[in-house]
């Protein structure tokens, strides 16, 4: 019996996240810092699975996409040109009674959602974090923490294209931190002020833009499926005109049905020629593309896929969270697809003697040698050890018993089906490799 009422899943994930080392409140021993989070030992493994899979699909497997890694601090003129200094703002309203602040578009009606007090008129609030370069804090030394990684790609369009000798259509991809001084944050790591983006800027001929938009929309939707996310909890939603960002001609969000409702994981946007046009105008540099065959010189259209690493991690956790009963005992488990599970296998000696611990440790070493994060656990009954691993989503538990020492076989227990098979240690690597291969995933 799987969990049916998902309304408390976010609270359960927050506490499991801390207890098991997925996600901690930032600087917790000092009382934390609003909506800022640290990834613990298992959280960082999960996050790295997300970014590794994205990079592999978007960059490593494709000849027509190159990667880059731009600095977080950029010349402030970039943000004037991109429109962020002038337009990257949200309407802020403040309650006259409790002084709480809200994003006007997050409030239904015109009273304070907390105390019912009267709300102020909206005031536009720029979301970029401001800082200063050097010792003097004046207007001439202002710099911004980037609110998106995309501009680092646009200003390097010509550099990256020429250096890699790519021809249009091609893409430039980047994964990195972004910062936004959000007015309302919350839902665990869903909306925070420091987060990580995975962005692909795809440069194409204006005549082919609509086809590429469709192509990337589908490809991105499929990627979430390949991560094991349930299809019925994913959808694509086109933006209405009043939702479109200042640069976008068209945008569809990939959304996930979280316990708190359908919410955005990623935007696939048709940015037109907006960004490159702006940088050409503001920098005075001609960064247009020259087609080597037709000799046409033009500003390519950008199709962007912009996803959040943290939101994907939250999706994987929320989607995997489950509770069931085994022989009358409650079980909490994370049903991660094996290839994204933070721990791939756990190896247990049945007892702490008769050569079992040594053999179990040898197996762990062998699995770790394949870069499969695996652990050795000899504490408590086998049942308890299984439960500990179920709770962190480990797909395979391997038990070494007396027979193993005699005939070099072990039992492998599957987290989801609970089926145990006895296999030769010699064939363990192949057995796991087949099941940890992302190509074998279905949703």
Q: Minimum Å distance from CB 78 to ligand GAP? A: 13
Distance of CA 414 to the CA centre of its chain: 26
Q: Is the Cβ of residue 49 or residue 409 nearer to ligand GAP in the bound state?
A: 49
Nearer to ligand GAP, 148 or 377 (CB): 148
Closest by Cα among 400, 336, 408 to 373: 336
Q: Binding to ligand GAP (CB under 6 A): which residues in 252-281?
A: 264-267
Q: First and final CA of the chain: distance in angstroms?
A: 19
DSSP 197: E
Strand partners, 253: 237, 267
DSSP secondary-structure letter at 341? -
CA atoms of 45 and 283, how far apart (whole Å): 41
Q: Please pick, from the candidates 84, 279, 311, 385, the single residue that binds ligand GAP as defined by CB under 6 A.
A: 311
The nearer residue to ligand GAP, 156 or 373, going by C-beta atoms, is 156
Give the nearest distance from C-beta 378 to ligand GAP in angstroms.
Answer: 40
The 10 Å Cβ neighbour count of residue 423 is: 15
Binding mask 183-202 for ligand GAP (x = CB under 6 A): --------xx--x-x-x---
Helix (H, G, I), strand (E, B) or coil at 113: coil
Give residue number: closest CB to ligand GAP: 308
| Partners of 323 in beta bridges | 332
Among positions 45, 57, 90, 148, the unique one binding ligand GAP when judged by CB under 6 A: 148
Beta carbon of residue 59, minimum distance to ligand GAP (angstroms, whole number): 17
| Contact flag: residue 203 with ligand GAP (CB under 6 A) | no
Minimum distance from residue 379 beta carbon to ligand GAP (Å): 37
If one asks whether residue 150 binds ligand GAP (CB under 6 A), the answer comes out as: yes
Binder of ligand GAP out of 43, 308, 342, 393 (CB under 6 A): 308
CB of 248 to ligand GAP, least distance (A): 8
The stretch near ligand GAP (CB under 6 A) out of 100-108, 304-312, 330-338, 393-401 is 304-312
310 lies in the binding site for ligand GAP (CB under 6 A): yes
* φ and ψ of 128, to 5 deg: -80, 140
Q: How far is CA 368 from the centre of its chain?
A: 25
The nearer residue to ligand GAP, 154 or 348, going by C-beta atoms, is 154
Measured from the CB atom, is 302 or 364 closer to ligand GAP?
Answer: 302
Q: For the chain, how many helices (H) and strands (E)? A: 13, 23
* Dihedral sign of CA atoms 419, 422, 428, 431 in order: negative
Q: How far apart are alpha carbons 25 and 33 in whole angstroms?
A: 7
Q: How far is the CB of 308 from ligand GAP (least distance, A)?
A: 2
Question: Measured from the CB atom, is 254 or 333 closer to ligand GAP?
Answer: 254
CB of 266 to ligand GAP, least distance (A): 5
Judged by CB under 6 A, the residue of 25, 146, 180, 344 near ligand GAP is: 180
Task: Provide the minimum distance between the beta carbon of 44 and ligand GAP in the complex, in angstroms, as a whole number.
Answer: 17
Strands 101-103 and 89-94, by their bridges, are antiparallel
Residue 262, φ and ψ in degrees, nearest 5:
-65, 130
13: left (phi over 0), alpha (psi -120 to 50) or beta: alpha
By CB under 6 A, what part of segment 17-56 binds ligand GAP?
none
Torsion over CA: 378, 382, 388, 391 (sign)? positive
Q: Least distance from C-beta 88 to ligand GAP, angstroms?
A: 9
d(CA 107, CA 125): 16
Q: Which residues bind ligand GAP (CB under 6 A)?
A: 148, 150, 180, 182, 191-192, 195, 197, 199, 264-267, 304, 306-308, 310-311
């Amino acid at each position: 019996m799987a969990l049916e009422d998902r309304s408390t899943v976010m609270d359960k994930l927050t506490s499991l996240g801390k207890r098991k080392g997925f996600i901690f409140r930032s600087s917790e021993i000092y009382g934390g810092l609003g909506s800022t989070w640290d990834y613990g030992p298992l959280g960082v493994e999960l996050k790295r699975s997300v970014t590794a899979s994205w990079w592999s699909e978007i960059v490593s497997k494709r000849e027509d996409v190159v990667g880059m890694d731009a600095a977080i601090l950029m010349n402030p003129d970039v943000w004037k040109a991109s429109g962020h200094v002038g337009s990257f703002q949200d309407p802020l309203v403040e309650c006259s009674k409790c002084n709480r602040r809200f994003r006007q578009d997050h409030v239904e009606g015109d009273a304070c959602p907390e105390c019912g007090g009267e709300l102020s008129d909206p005031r536009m609030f720029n979301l970029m974090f401001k800082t200063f370069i050097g010792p003097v804090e004046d207007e001439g030394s202002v710099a911004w923490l980037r609110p998106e990684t995309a501009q680092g790609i646009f200003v390097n369009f010509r550099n990256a294209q020429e250096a890699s000798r790519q021809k249009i259509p091609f893409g430039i991809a980047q994964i990195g931190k972004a910062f936004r001084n959000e007015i309302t944050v919350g839902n665990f790591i869903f909306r925070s002020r420091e987060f990580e983006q995975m962005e692909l800027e795809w440069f194409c001929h204006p005549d082919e833009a609509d086809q590429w938009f469709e192509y990337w929309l589908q490809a991105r939707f499929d990627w979430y499926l390949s991560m094991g996310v349930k299809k019925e909890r994913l959808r694509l939603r086109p933006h209405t005109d009043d939702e479109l960002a200042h640069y976008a001609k068209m945008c569809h969000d990939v959304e996930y049905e979280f316990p708190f409702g359908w919410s955005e994981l990623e935007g696939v946007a048709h940015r037109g020629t907006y960004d490159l046009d702006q940088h050409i105008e503001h920098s005075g540099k001609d960064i247009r593309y020259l087609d080597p065959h037709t000799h046409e010189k033009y500003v390519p259209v950008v199709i962007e896929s912009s996803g959040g690493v943290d939101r994907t991690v939250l999706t994987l956790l929320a989607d995997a969270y489950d509770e069931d009963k085994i022989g009358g005992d409650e079980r909490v488990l994370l049903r991660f697809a094996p290839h994204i599970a933070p721990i791939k296998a756990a190896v247990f000696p049945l007892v702490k003697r008769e050569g079992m611990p040594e053999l179990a440790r040898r197996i762990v070493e062998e699995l770790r040698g394949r870069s499969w994060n695996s652990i050795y656990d000899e504490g408590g009954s086998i049942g308890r050890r299984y439960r500990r691993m179920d709770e962190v989503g480990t797909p395979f538990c391997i038990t070494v018993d007396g027979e193993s020492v005699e005939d070099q076989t072990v039992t492998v227990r599957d987290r989801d089906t609970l089926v145990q098979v006895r296999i030769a240690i010699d064939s363990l690597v192949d057995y796991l490799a087949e099941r940890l291969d992302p190509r074998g995933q279905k949703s």
